[in-house]
Amino acid sequence: MTKTSTNLTEPDITVAFDYGGSLTKIIFAGQDRQVRLLYMEPEVVSVPRESILGYARDQLGSADPQNTAWVAFRNDYRAVGYLAKQRFHANAGLSELKYERALHKTLAALWVIKEKQKLPGNFTVAIAALLPPGEYEDRSRFERVLREALADYQTPTGRMSVELLVFNCKPEGGGIYLMHNKKVGSGIKERVCAIAMIGYRNASLLVAQRGDVAPGKMSDLGFIRMVEKVLVKTSGQTAERLTPAIVTAGSEFKAAPLMRLARSTSREGRAEEVQQMLLAIKEARPEYVRSLTSWLDENLPPDCDELVFCGGTATYFKKELNEYYDRLPIIWNADISIPVALDKKGLGDRLSDVYGMFVYFRTVLKKQFNSKSYQSLESLSEGSEKQEVKAHG
């Protein structure tokens, strides 16, 4: 869906959002058309006005805006990202609807972009967003509420009024499909293609049957389910601490990443804790894969011609998924190559969906505004230096 105002002036900011459960990933371009990456922690929390004002009054130092973001709409104050996580002890809201939290994440990110780009409080924007298939039907409501909130909201540097010129929403995995479709061309109309997006919070499946994309399927079988299995068999740990350690330990089950999580004061005690965590991971990994592949088997079309895996969790289980689905041609992340100049944090495959969405969205805007200023993103791959905007942590 794409909606636009009658104004044919190009937007000041073009931005694509992936509201991930472990990280909000944002790719944007300003008036100079340089493409940049912004990422923020996923936490959002409602905070009393007095607490926000107290934080602003007592704040020392000069932190980057993405680490001090809060917004207020209709006198509802929300801390977002690192501030919500570190100062107000918020959680990632994995059980809540993504689009409800996405409102505040979008408002906060646009404030950060405004600060980085040195824009006034009034500017225009074109927004592309990825929502879970289970929430895709809420896209019209999300756009309506977002458009209303953008018109008048408060930030740490004062009031903002942003005009939403274009809004384009796709289900998660949509950016991958659009890039795959572009590469395959008319051949997509002769095959049945499944896009499996496996993220931190959920797993979703899009199926394109000879070019016709059916409504997506979604489950809660994200990486967090494996982490929860490990948590049950260990003591004193949290999902937030365990997740990066499990990922770093990898399929080789390396002990070193887990050492820093050990809480015992004795060397022997720490070694025992690490072994306990390793055993829990070794048991949880095949259990999770079995649950995930069972769900995929239930929802994959019997005449599937190719399977495209994407998402950070899918990459983590690449070996198991390749072996289990050896009967099908498998494509990873639609063979998207994220420009090194854009991905200096090394998020890699985790950016594929939002990057694909951004590339597609820029093509849409170029046609819509009949503009030559939307440069080809392929030029990024050739090593031109672009600024990266990054959050703490």
In 3D, which of 362, 390, 384 has the Cα closest to residue 63? 390
Q: Which residues of the chain have pLDDT under 50?
A: 1-6, 378-393
- Predicted local confidence at residue 31, as pLDDT: 86
Looking at domain 2-174+337-382, does it have CATH number 3.30.420.40? Answer: yes
Percent helix, strand, coil in the chain (nearest 5)?
A: 45, 20, 35
- Predicted local confidence at residue 375, as pLDDT: 57
Helix 223-232 to helix 239-249 angle (10° resolution) is 110
- Predicted local confidence at residue 57, as pLDDT: 79
Q: Please report the DSSP string for 164-228 in residue order.
A: EEEEEEEETTHHHHHHHHHHHGGGGGGSEEEEEEE-SS-EEEEEEETTEEPPPEEES-SHHHHHH
Report the alpha-carbon distance of residue 150 to residue 71 in Å, rounded: 11
Report pLDDT digits (tens) over 257-275. Answer: 999 999 988 999 999 999 9
Token pair listed for 135? 């929430």
Number of other residues whose CB lies within 10 A of the CB of residue 218: 21
User: Can you tell me which residue has the tokens 């095949």?
Assistant: 286
- DSSP code, position 275: H
Domain map of the chain by residue range? 2-174+337-382
Asked if residue 70 lies in contact with residue 79, where contact means CB atoms within 8 angstroms, the answer is yes
Report the alpha-carbon distance of residue 315 to residue 308 in Å, rounded: 11
Q: Which residues are 18's β-sheet partners?
A: 25, 130
Q: Which residues contact 383 (CB under 8 A, 6 or more apart)?
A: 340, 341
Q: Where on the phi/psi map is residue 222: left (φ > 0), alpha (ψ -120 to 50), or beta? A: beta
